[in-house]
Chains A and B, each alone.
Chain A
Amino acid sequence: EDQVTQSPEALRLQEGESSSLNCSYTVSGLRGLFWYRQDPGKGPEFLFTLYSAGEEKEKERLKATLTKKESFLHITAPKPEDSATYLCAVNSGGSNYKLTFGKGTLLTVNP
């Protein structure tokens, strides 16, 4: 059974203070690892898909990286508008559609 563990559960940063969120996974045959952002009262918003170890993707202040056991979401010089819950999900094995999510990291960026 696929398992996804995100840490920390919550992270509080000052504006401009860079940091990283971690997503550790245990799967049989990773097909893809996904990062989503979720604001309160809204559905998850797609950010990135990573397919293989060593892959990196960037979008504005966010950069996602992938190894064989974990993924990191690096946030450079965050702003208050980056405050949200960041969810990691994996797709693996014989199913090319089912996503298994972690519980998320609640990020708060103070001005």
Chain B
Amino acid sequence: GAGVSQSPRYKVAKRGQDVALRCDPISGHVSLFWYQQALGQGPEFLTYFQNEAQLDKSGLPSDRFFAERPEGSVSTLKIQRTQQEDSAVYLCASSLARASGVYEQYFGPGTRLTVT
């Protein structure tokens, strides 16, 4: 079946521009996650949705980062007034995980953001 898809795959933004990154999770997956991966590092947690509810946004680096999932399916990660330190790969993952139990997270290909 179709996996997690993300768009765009690559994004170049000038410092100060706003960007929006899209994630289409695996159909039926209620849980959705965003991670940030710097070069040579492992992914770092940004935020978590269960359906349309954002249950954890503790990993968002600053108030310039905002995520939404209004209908409990597609999610958008928005970064306002981009800075050079925002350059990274942004990964989206989805899972069947619910309130109890631990399930595997399946990742999309990522969006590579470069801020110039």
Q: SS class of chain B's interface: helix, strand, loop or mixed?
A: loop
- How many chain-A residues does the 8 Å CB contact rule pick out? 26
Residue in contact with B42 in the complex, picked from A41, A87, A96, CB distance below 8 Å: A87
**Contact residue range for chain B?**
20 to 34
Known: A97-B31, A99-B45, A103-B40. 16 other contacts (CB 8 A): A31-B102, A32-B102, A34-B104, A34-B105, A42-B110, A43-B107, A43-B110, A44-B91, A46-B105, A87-B43, A96-B100, A96-B101, A98-B45, A101-B43, A101-B44, A102-B42
Q: Does A89 contact B (CB under 8 A)?
A: yes
Q: Does A71 contact B (CB under 8 A)?
A: no
**Which of A32, A42, A99, A102 counts the most B-chain CB atoms under 10 A from its CB?**
A99
Q: Does A65 contact B (CB under 8 A)?
A: no
Chain B residues closer than 8 Å to A100, beta-carbon distance: 45
Q: Does A91 contact B (CB under 8 A)?
A: yes
Interface residues of A (CB under 8 A from B): 4, 31-32, 34, 36, 41-46, 49, 51, 87, 89, 91, 95-104
Chain A residues closer than 8 Å to B42, beta-carbon distance: 4, 87, 89, 101-104
A51 touches B110 (CB 8 A): no
A103 touches B41 (CB 8 A): yes
